[in-house]
Amino acid sequence: MDDIFYYVLNMSLSSIIVIAVLALVRLIRPLPRRIVYPLWSLAFLRLVLPFALSTRWSIFNFTGKLVKRLISVETILQDNRPVRMPERITVMNMIGAAESYAPIEYKTESLHGFFTICSIIWAIVVIALLTAASILYLLTVSELKKAILVKDNIYRSGMLLSPVLAGLFRARIILPEGLDPDSPEGRMVIAHENVHRKRLDNLWRIIAISVACIHWFNPAVWFMLKMFFTDMELSCDERVMAEGGFGTEDRKAYARTLLNYSEEKGFLVSTAFGQSGIKVRIVNVLNYKRLTVIGAVASSIFLLILVLLLVTNPGIGG
């Protein structure tokens, strides 16, 4: 258990740098949120994969002595694998408490005892959080099953204050009482929820919450979770604007719809139309501009650079 916690702690520490960079990227105003939103997958990779490819492009090449040691996966696995691993697949050690890694042997007995106690506490809290999340999920599913079919995959429920998308692979759009799906307002809401459905955003919501539960001790991860959910909604709004060819008056109508459903009923794994920073979303909708060809090319190059910087480990020997 303490071996697992040691690697989780290393992943958590390395993710702080990635989260900080992405938080700064969000401040670049010309960069659309539909481009920023997928970037959070880079942070998720850091939080779930202890190993990565070592390159000279990694941002960790410029963090001084923050990385105490770089260990090849080959060293960790030793002879417990049928296929030889490339030497450039490495694990970063940012703690420096271990002497060897297969299995982990700590530098002192007191360090071993400390990590053993911490790993037990970590595991207990993880199990408690995941159990609580699962119970909330089951309660949500039970509550939303009471919705009445309107047509296709559109349902209605008197218990909702804001439209929601419920479910994962066969998601249902559930509208509150009084919202006509054939009205201009209803069509905007349905277009928004359909973007969530096509992107499997409810699945990403579950993944994000599960990752946060595993790294519960890291405040940066909870900060990341809030930014991720906000960017999920902002990017969804932008996609609706782009696909619907919305003009100025359409954007104003969409903003009014957001305001009308700003009172939300929270659900663990369901995206709600009126959630995540209504003021920011309204401003983003009203200021929406189509991405030009030059802007798209520049954004693609920028994304490639970020991927190289954030998902790779520092170069071996450098």
pLDDT, tens digit, 9 for 90 and up, residues 40-75: 999 999 999 888 888 888 898 888 777 777 777 666
pLDDT band at 318 (very low <50, low <70, confident <90, very high): very low
Give the per-residue pLDDT at 176. 86
Q: Inform me whether the pLDDT recorded for 268 exceeds 60.
A: no
Residue 227's pLDDT is: 93
Please give the pLDDT value at position 157. 85
- Predicted confidence at residue 167, as pLDDT, reads 83
Mean confidence (pLDDT) of the chain: 83
Exposure string for 78-109, b = 16+ CB within 10 A, e = fewer = eeeeeeeeeebebbbbbeebbeebeebebeee
Q: Does 236 have pLDDT greater than 60?
A: yes
Among residues of the chain, what percentage have pLDDT more than 70?
Answer: 88
Q: What are the φ and ψ backbone dihedral angles of 45, each rounded to 5 degrees?
A: -60, -45
- pLDDT at site 226: 92
The token pair that represents 122 in the structure block:
């970590």
Q: How confident is the model at residue 263 (pLDDT cuts 50, 70, 90)?
A: low
- How far is it, in rounded angstroms, from Cα 305 to Cα 21? 12
- pLDDT for residue 265 is more than 50: no
The pLDDT assigned to 316 comes to 65
Average pLDDT, integer, range 97-107: 74
More confident residue, 100 or 268: 100
Answer for the pair 146, 157: CB distance below 8 angstroms, yes or no.
yes
Structure token pair of residue 297: 């090319």
Distance, CA of 55 to CA of 72 (rounded, Å)? 13
Structure-model confidence comparison of residues 134 and 264, the more confident one: 134
Band of residue 81 on the pLDDT scale cut at 50, 70, 90: low
Whole-number percent of the chain with pLDDT over 90: 26
Query: Above 90 in pLDDT, residue 132?
Result: yes
Residue 48: the pLDDT is 94
Statement: the pTM of the whole predicted model exceeds 0.75: yes
Rounded to the nearest 5 percent, the helix, strand and coil shares of the chain are 55, 15, 30
Neighbours of 244 (CB within 10 A): 15
pLDDT at 44: 95
Q: How far is the C-alpha of 117 from the C-alpha of 197, rounded, in Å?
A: 42
Mean pLDDT throughout 25-30? 84
Q: pLDDT value at position 130? A: 95
Q: Please say if the pLDDT value at position 269 is more than 60.
A: no
* Residue-level pLDDT at 41: 93
pLDDT of the residue at 200: 92
pLDDT surpasses 60 at 17: yes
What's residue 51's pLDDT? 86
Residues 6+ apart with CB under 8 A from 255: 282, 285, 286
More confident residue, 276 or 142: 142
- pLDDT value at residue 272: 59
